[in-house]
Amino acid sequence: MTFLYIVIAILIFGVIIIIHEAGHFAAAKSCGVRVNEFSVGMGPKLFGWGKGETKYNLRALPIGGFVSMEGEDEFSSDPRAFGNKPVWQRLIIVCAGAAMNLVLGFVILIIATSFSDGITTTKVAGFYSEDSPSHLSGLEVGDEITRVNGMRVFCDTDISYQFQIDEDRTFEMTVIRNGEKLILPSVKFDGSAADDGTSSLVIDFYVLGEKVNPLSVISYSARKFVSVGRMIWLSLYDLIRGRYTINDLSGPVGIVGAIGDVVGSTAHGVPIGEMLLNLLNFVVFITINVGIFNLLPIPALDGARAFFLIIEAIRRKPIKPEHEGLVHFVGLMLLFGLMIVVTFLDIKKLF
């Protein structure tokens, strides 16, 4: 089954990469830039074909891709060269790949939500027992949870996120009750002991669901899109401030393992339809993650290229290509180094 998980992972990454590079490609073509090559994958070329001025290649390593434009990293006298286009057009081209990943995430969210049995709300429907700690500490049936520990709740996943990162099992909740906003300062939950001696939060209430219709699908998909994006930003912030370490990162091997957990859940009684929805939601997280990460001003990423273009627009002259190229080269080497370390740690976790 491991081979199947690898194939699924390659297909997922392939779609995400193709969509990303297609964004750059379409934006470049619409701005009149000459595109010399469109490649999926990195490393040696497996096969390719040519159509017009552009060569299309599939390369051996499914870890990325690129669109090679005339005059992108060097001077070119061609009026259709990337470097000869206005800054605003180059900004659109550079950011189009990440934008397409975000669009893909939203589209998949709409598809997954459309096929779900119901849409989860944040309104309390009931409690699993009369003496539920959350009920005894202030939560009531009919409460619509709008904030947890000060963080705005867009959908149910925001509540789950706060429950996962909290340590004392006591939460400040803002709810709408009978049309009025109330702040519940100390909503409490139980903890249960696990086999490894740690404790986990026991959720003692359940929420209402609403019917699936076009309006509710679009509304929920938009709110969950914002929720996932914010969750990724918060995770990056937590990584920077030391809440997470490099051991908590996952590379290709870790992602294959996560895909295996999702796909393999059918062996533990999870219906195939539910598994497919879980897989789609996992893909949503990956593609939104790719889109946001690529917009960060990290050398070798689209965000850094956009940053240099913004500097060019402000100072009205470009950074010397050799200087910018050196920055991107160093960044690329550091990213490759990080990928190697994370992959090693992923493999280590398997044993």
pLDDT digits (tens, 9 = 90+) for 57-77: 988 877 778 899 998 878 888
pLDDT of residue 26: 95
pLDDT of residue 8: 83
Residues 231 and 156 sit within 8 Å (Cβ to Cβ): no
Which of 193, 210, 227 is the last residue before a domain boundary? 210
pLDDT of residue 123: 95
Which amino acid is residue 36, in one-letter code?
A: N
Residues 132 and 186 in one domain: yes
Q: SS3 of 83, please?
A: helix
pLDDT of residue 120: 92
For residue 137, the enclosing domain spans 119-210
Residues 67 and 90 in one domain: yes
Residues 301 and 324 in one domain: yes
Residues 93 and 187 in one domain: no
Question: Is the pLDDT reported for residue 52 higher than 60?
Answer: yes
Number of structural domains found in the chain: 2
Residues 119 and 212 sit within 8 Å (Cβ to Cβ): yes
Residues 90 and 178 in one domain: no
Reported confidence tier of residue 25, pLDDT bands at 50, 70, 90: very high
Neighbours of 175 (CB within 10 A): 24
Residues 7 and 109 in one domain: yes
Question: Is the pLDDT reported for residue 194 higher than 60?
Answer: no
pLDDT of residue 20: 93
Residues 45 and 129 in one domain: no
21 is known as an active-site residue = yes
Residue 253 lies in a domain: no
Residues 275 and 262 sit within 8 Å (Cβ to Cβ): yes
Residue 169 lies in a domain: yes
Residue 237 lies in a domain: no
Nearest residue to 29 via CA among 113, 92, 112: 92
Residue 316 lies in a domain: yes
Quote the pTM value: 0.86
Catalytic residue among 21, 70, 72, 324: 21
Residues 38 and 98 in one domain: yes
Residues 105 and 12 in one domain: yes
Q: Using CA atoms, how far apart are residues 109 and 145, in angstroms rounded to an integer?
A: 22
Give the residue, 174 or 6, on which the prediction is more confident. Answer: 174
Place of tokens 């996992």: 282
* 166: CATH: 2.30.42.10
Q: How far apart are the first and last CA of the chain?
A: 18
Residues 164 and 135 in one domain: yes
Average pLDDT over residues 148-169: 89
Place of tokens 């790949």: 97
Residues 80 and 125 in one domain: no
